[in-house]
Chains A and B, each alone.
Chain A
Amino acid sequence: MVKYSCIVLLALSFIFNSCETSTDVSTALKYQEYTVIDAKLSAGKFFEGVRITHTLPLGEEYDIHKAEIIDAIAYIRENGVKVIPIHYTSEGLYKTITEIHIKAGTQYELFADINGKSVYSSTFVPDTPVVNQVFNANNNYLIAEVSAKPNEAYGAAWIIPRGIDSLIAGDFHSILTANHFPSDITLRTIDIPAPYNTPAYSDLFYIKVFAFDKAYKDYFETRTSSEPIEETFTSGGGAVAWNVYGKNVIGLFIGTAEGYMVHP
């Protein structure tokens, strides 16, 4: 009796599941174009602009002149009030009519109309992060303890200062946020590569902490999603958490602040 019940229930489950829409898979992959927004707003620095482009079909060699969008109507808005139009300059880059400084502790929004399609994003530009302590973990990596603030996320990078040609970690080990405030959080850098991970170089290493709008944490943790699955445990699955909104729009419009270099 139980066996029959199970069979009936399983059959029913298949029937109910049939509300999934079935699609005939075409051998020719259909290309979906996305609008791509790319902007970093660094506290205390000149606004570098917003790059507005679109994706190119698979297999097509990337050419900025093919990818750029040149006719967007766009502006940024400061703290919900001050509207500053941005204008196409070259290679998809939209800038303000005269230079502006990005202010820490300020919210910036992006509004754009791209051929009738609305694009929106909002970001918070953090203050320069406050580093309380730094440590050298046996020359393998560096550690920093920072005072965390709401709406901010933090990452740390090792750096060997060499003027404009400084050697800096190419990535963050992690991006962290705090759950309650005030609190300190501990950040570590990625591993220091050979041959620098020896005591001979330890005096040369500094750590630099970067603060971000907390949306960067979601992006950082999902950034390898949707990539070709070459490494089962790190690639593919899910979607990248972009912080721009609109139909078929991806990208980042992110506020950030660089800390000072601190020697362990």
Chain B
Amino acid sequence: MIQSYKILLSLILVVSFNFNGCLKDKITPPADIPINDAGEILFFLEEEGDYINSSDLPSLTDADEVYSNMHEYLLIDIRPSEEFISGHIEGAINKQPSQLISFLDSIDYKQYPKIIIISKNGQSSAFYTCLLRLYGFDNTCSMNYGMAAWNAAFSDEWLNALQTDYELLQDYTNDLFPKPASTPLPEVSLSGTSLEDKVKQRIKDLTKTEFEDNLIDGESTAVINYGWLMSNTEKFLIVCYDSVLLYKDVLAGISHPENAVSFHPFPHSELSSTEYLQSIPSNKKSAFYSTNGQLSGFVVAYLRVLGYDAKSVLFGANNMYYDLLLNSVSFSDEAFSQSKIRNYSFVTGK
């Protein structure tokens, strides 16, 4: 009996040696959790100066300054070639938005104190200028109000956009609506070797986005018509991206559409990653308005780089409640009018 126990004990010892023989002390599988692509883009854009939340925004240059520096600045007119041929600023060159980056990469762009991007109404030039800034062309600016401010021959669309729809204003409110809860960053897919390559390729791809300078009705990829927005408010988060007075200014009678939220630009920069960037929904469209549609054009470009389905309300509050802007102490200067049309000379042909 005792002998059997000894044999059993020996067997247990042997088996225990065998099992222990191949064990290792510590098994901690290394986590291989890749970082999110939109997170990488956000990291890169912040690393490069966080343009959208900086004092450089919006990079606008008035027609007067362009006129005074026509021979020092590089003027790039991004209108369709037939519009360019029918009239443009002397010395300006015509490039389509999708050609901008390749063109600027091919020249010594830093030799120019400023590179002015010009569109008909200053709406699309704001969008593409922001893309160029994010790409790294830090001397690019959009011409304020576009060709409309250069000469009356190009101001028809801006003048037609000036309106106050009193019927729609009846549904406006002074209630303050809280920003929505954060949603995850949008899903984007990057390709490239380095982070810089990946983000720059994405920006380059976005220059192919069609951003209309005028849209009579409906919505397109990055642009929305005000009337259309107000007929489809449930599909959008409406964002007033400007001074808080454009959201609510009791003295000027300015209020906002139901459920619209307010985001401050610099210096309070509520679109910062540390603030409310992710209150912009990644699972819903958003429509941004500013006083004249230019600041919103900049911010929509930034958000689209991050993957958000954001759209700019063309002509902004000028197209929503123009009369109220005229009466406002804060915004009367940003209400487009005949006084902004400088009637500088232009040339025709290529």
A, B bound: yes
A83–B273 touching, CB < 8 Å:
yes
Residues of B within 8 A of A100 (CB): 274
Does B178 belong to the interface (CB within 8 Å)?
no
Taken together as a complex, chains A and B put the C-alpha atoms of A83 and B25 apart, in Å, by 36
Across chains A and B, the number of contacting residue pairs, with CB separation under 8 Å, is: 109
Report which of A16, A97, A99, A246 forms a contact with B17, defined as CB distance below 8 A.
A16
Q: How far is the CA of A83 from the CA of B277 in the complex (A)?
A: 9
Contacts of B33 in A (CB 8 A): 111, 118, 120, 245
Taking a contact as CB atoms under 8 Å apart, the answer to whether A246 and B46 are in contact is no
State the Cβ distance, A47 to closest chain B Cβ, in Å.
Answer: 9
Name A's interface SS. mixed
* Nearest 9 pairs of A and B residues by beta carbon: A245-B31, A17-B21, A85-B43, A16-B18, A120-B31, A13-B17, A120-B33, A13-B14, A247-B30
Supposing A17-B18, A85-B46, A118-B33 touch, asked if A111 and B6 sit within 8 A by C-beta, the answer is no
Chain A interface size band reads 35 or more
A73 lies within 8 A of B274 (CB): no
Verify if A238 is at the interface (C-beta below 8 Å from B): yes
B residues within 8 Å of A by Cβ? 3, 6-7, 10-11, 13-14, 17-18, 21-22, 25-26, 28, 30-36, 38-40, 42-43, 46-47, 50, 53, 182-185, 195, 269, 272-275, 278
Chain B residue contacts of A18, Cβ below 8 A: 21
Residues of B near A98 (CB, < 8 A) are: 269, 272, 274-275
CB-CB nearest in chain B for A3? B6
Whether A82 sits at the interface, judged by CB under 8 Å, is: yes
Inter-subunit contact B21/A84 (CB<8 Å): no
Query: Which of A4-12, A25-33, A157-165, A202-210 contacts the other chain?
Result: A4-12
A139 in the interface, Cβ–Cβ < 8 Å? no
Name A's B-contacting residues (CB within 8 A): 2, 5-6, 9-10, 12-13, 16-20, 73-75, 77, 81-85, 87, 96-100, 111-113, 118-120, 238-239, 245-247, 249
Complex alpha-carbon distance, A246 and B31, angstroms:
5
Instruction: Closest A residue to B49 by CB, please name it.
Output: A97
Can you name 21 A-B residue pairings with CB atoms under 8 Å?
A5-B10, A6-B7, A9-B11, A10-B10, A10-B14, A17-B17, A20-B22, A73-B43, A73-B195, A75-B39, A75-B42, A82-B182, A84-B274, A85-B43, A96-B273, A96-B274, A97-B46, A97-B273, A111-B35, A120-B33, A249-B30
Q: How far is the CA of A12 from the CA of B40 in the complex (A)?
A: 56
**Given contact pairs A19-B22, A87-B47, A73 touches B35 in the complex (Cβ within 8 A):** yes
Could you say which of B40, B195, B275 has the most chain A C-beta atoms within 10 Å of its C-beta?
B40
CA distance A16 to B274 in the complex (A): 58
> Knowing that A9-B11, A75-B35, A82-B273 are A-B contacts, what are 16 other residue pairs whose CB atoms are under 8 Å apart, sorted by A's residue number?
A2-B7, A6-B7, A13-B13, A73-B35, A75-B39, A81-B182, A85-B43, A85-B46, A97-B272, A97-B273, A97-B274, A98-B272, A111-B36, A112-B35, A246-B30, A249-B30
Docked pose: A113 CA to B40 CA in angstroms: 10
Question: Could you tell me if B30 and A82 are in contact, using CB atoms closer than 8 angstroms?
Answer: no
